[in-house]
Amino acid sequence: MPGDGFTITSRIRNLLRTPSMKNKKKCKENLSSKVTLEKVLGITTSGNSGLTCDPRSGLVAYPAGCVVVLLNPKKNRQHHIINTSRKTITALSFSPDGKYLVTGESGHLPAVRLWDVAERRQVAELQKHKYGVSCVAFSHNNKYIVSVGNQHDMMVNVWAWKKDVVVAANKVSSKVTGVSFSEDSSYFVTVGNRHVRFWYLDHCKANKVTRAAIPLLGRSGLLGELRNNFFSDVACGRGSKSDSTFCITSSGLLCEFNSKRMLDKWVDLKTGMAQSLSLSEDMIFCGCADGTVRAFSPSDLHFVCTLPQPHPLGTDVSAVTEASTPHP
């Protein structure tokens, strides 16, 4: 009968087709189990918030798309953390003890994620931002994480990350490019386009009873004649200079704010552009144009030295006889 013939033909086709389909699935499974990320070439960070270093171990972390590269510069070895949401990572920072890494991402409903560095696995996912995260940082007492949204997001959130709750929040209208916590974790400072703002956390202690976020208290820095500058990066002082806050402008000025938020003094870096800042109790390092790094004393902003520049690829280091160019 016609119906029987159709059934027989269909069965024959299925029998012929099935093995190939199974083989394709097996091939895909085999490939997925064998293909692993071995090495990332290049870096996709768009600012200084996309590079961080653990001062204890020397481990360097930076994003490459949806992957965090953990680089051991001494051994020149890489490990990788893959963001399962596949969203581009825009900012990251180590915890003070180096055990955790916090990342911020871009895209619709971006998350602030915490990762266990040793096990390279996600331990927390914090969601309050809507459009993108430009900066993240741990407080020095390891209790809080601050995340700053991009210009479209316009939110500053302070997380009690172990409880997965926002304890304080507020809006920011400026483009923010840097954030730094004070040594005693009582406040943090954000900088950006004509923007230096001090945010205070003392009143966050009163938020232990209610889980609702309270308004984050912010005070603008007193910029004086430098009010129209673009502030690229910020670092709160350490040790004897813990009451001071240091910033750099994109035009090449190193600035110091005193305990009253007043721009107290500044010095010219003698460079076309400055983008990044890092400090210890004894030294301030300023990342300038053309790979130049200048060092200053935090006590009086006195120039110390210009670090030697890395040699170009392919250079025979043993043949180099001249030192790098000193500060002009």
Whole-number Cα distances in Å, 248 to 23, 274, 285: 60, 7, 11
Tens of pLDDT, residues 208-257:
545 667 899 999 999 999 999 999 999 999 999 999 999 999 999 999 99
Helix (H, G, I), strand (E, B) or coil at 169: strand
User: What local confidence, expressed as pLDDT, does residue 206 receive?
Assistant: 55
- pLDDT by residue for the chain (328 residues), tens only, comes to 455 555 777 766 665 565 555 555 555 555 556 678 888 887 777 788 999 999 889 999 999 999 999 999 988 899 999 998 899 999 999 999 999 999 999 988 999 999 999 999 999 999 999 999 999 999 999 999 999 999 889 899 999 999 989 999 999 988 999 999 999 999 999 999 999 999 999 866 655 545 667 899 999 999 999 999 999 999 999 999 999 999 999 999 999 999 999 999 999 999 989 999 999 999 999 999 988 999 999 999 999 999 988 777 777 777 767 665 544 4
Dist CA 192 CA 221 (whole Å): 12
Reported as type and span, the H/E element at residue 5 is helix 2-34
Structure tokens at 6: 């159709």
Tens of pLDDT, residues 128-140:
999 999 999 999 9
For 32-99, give the DSSP string.
HHH-------S----SGGG-EE-TTT--EEEEETTEEEEEETTTTEEEEEE-TT-PPEEEEEE-TTSS
pTM beyond cutoff 0.75: yes
